[in-house]
Amino acid sequence: MSTPKSRARKQLTILLGPVTLFLGIFFAGPLGIMLVFSLLEPGLYGGVEWNFYHWNYGRLLGWADGLIEEFDPIYLQVFGRSFRLALITVALSLIICYPAAYWVSRSPDKWKGFCIFLITLPFFASLIVRLYAWLLILRPTGFLNHVLTSLGLVAEPLDLLFSRTAVLIGMVYIFVPFMFLPIYASIEKLDMSLVEASKDLGASTFQTFRRIIVPLTLPGIVGGSIIVFIPSLGNFIVPDLLGGAKVVMIGNLIEQQFLYARNWPFGAALSMLLMAAVLVFLLVYITSVSRQQASETIRA
């Protein structure tokens, strides 16, 4: 005999069991390994020695004294550079996507589907191939410079490739769809009669945007920003291909530690620090957004 309570528990097990198992093995497991490795001594030829070793963090954060490991501020600078790049990527893709998503969500249904299709079209080709295409566009003899010089806008071809600008262009290009979709979803849900009510009550277009449209589409903005921010922070392919060897981001650094320097513990420590930084950053971001939203309504 099964009581309703035990039946509910069984249902819950069936529904949540697979995902728990999957995340337990493939998410929490590797994370645990990384955490442990980041506190172990690097092996001479890769791998780890099973000794407690906090110098991996000391090397990053400054308590390494140069005897065993050496503190180098360059790592923190790379962190700062990566954060800045990720933030600019978020800002630019937001500026590009918001008006576009607004326009698409207000167009006739048959256009909406087509526009969404266009937005997702890049996913049909491999990321590497698409980035190589940008290589061809941005190089001194490439498409962009060809157009600019033949229009007489620039005398000399611009040296865009292998620069921070090229990396930024590539990043924004990759992440625009990820920003577009959540914003589109939230604007699509926006009740247009609220916009009309705002105008009816004397608000200008800008006031309506600031007081009604932005607060009500905030979930989409926050969601899109997070979805773009996190992967762009750790991205190493774009700086690799479009930045040449000149632009090192935190992602490249971690990649190098694992694949070339074969210092797994230090790579793991870098990853842990990155994760901690992202968590703190998001916590601050989300609480400040929700506080702002609350103050919007309580504001006296």
Binding site for other proteins (CB under 8 A): 191, 193-194, 196-204, 207, 211-212, 215-216, 293, 296-300
Q: Would you give the DSSP letter of residue 46?
A: B
- Closest alpha carbon to 94 in 187, 204, 205: 187
Identity of the residue, 13 or 204, whose beta carbon is nearer to other proteins in the bound complex: 204
Amino acid letter for position 120: T
Identity of the residue, 211 or 246, whose beta carbon is nearer to other proteins in the bound complex: 211
46 phi and psi angles, rounded to 5 deg: 90, 180
Q: How far is the CB of 291 from other proteins (least distance, A)?
A: 14
d(CA 151, CA 126): 32
Q: How far is the CB of 183 from other proteins (least distance, A)?
A: 17
DSSP string of 225-238? HHHHHHHHHH--HH
Residues in the chain: 300
Identity of the residue, 135 or 216, whose beta carbon is nearer to other proteins in the bound complex: 216
d(CA 299, CA 263): 53
Q: How far is the CB of 194 from other proteins (least distance, A)?
A: 5
CB 148: neighbour CB atoms within 10 A? 16
Identity of the residue, 33 or 194, whose beta carbon is nearer to other proteins in the bound complex: 194
Identity of the residue, 5 or 299, whose beta carbon is nearer to other proteins in the bound complex: 299
Q: How far is the CB of 75 from other proteins (least distance, A)?
A: 43
Distances (CA, A) of 141 to 17, 159, 243, 246: 56, 10, 17, 20
Return the bridge partners of 65, or none. 70
Identity of the residue, 141 or 193, whose beta carbon is nearer to other proteins in the bound complex: 193
Q: How far is the CB of 26 from other proteins (least distance, A)?
A: 38
Q: How far is the CB of 99 from other proteins (least distance, A)?
A: 20
- Closest alpha carbon to 286 in 230, 212, 222, 196: 222
d(CA 146, CA 157): 8
Identity of the residue, 120 or 287, whose beta carbon is nearer to other proteins in the bound complex: 287
Q: How far is the CB of 221 from other proteins (least distance, A)?
A: 14
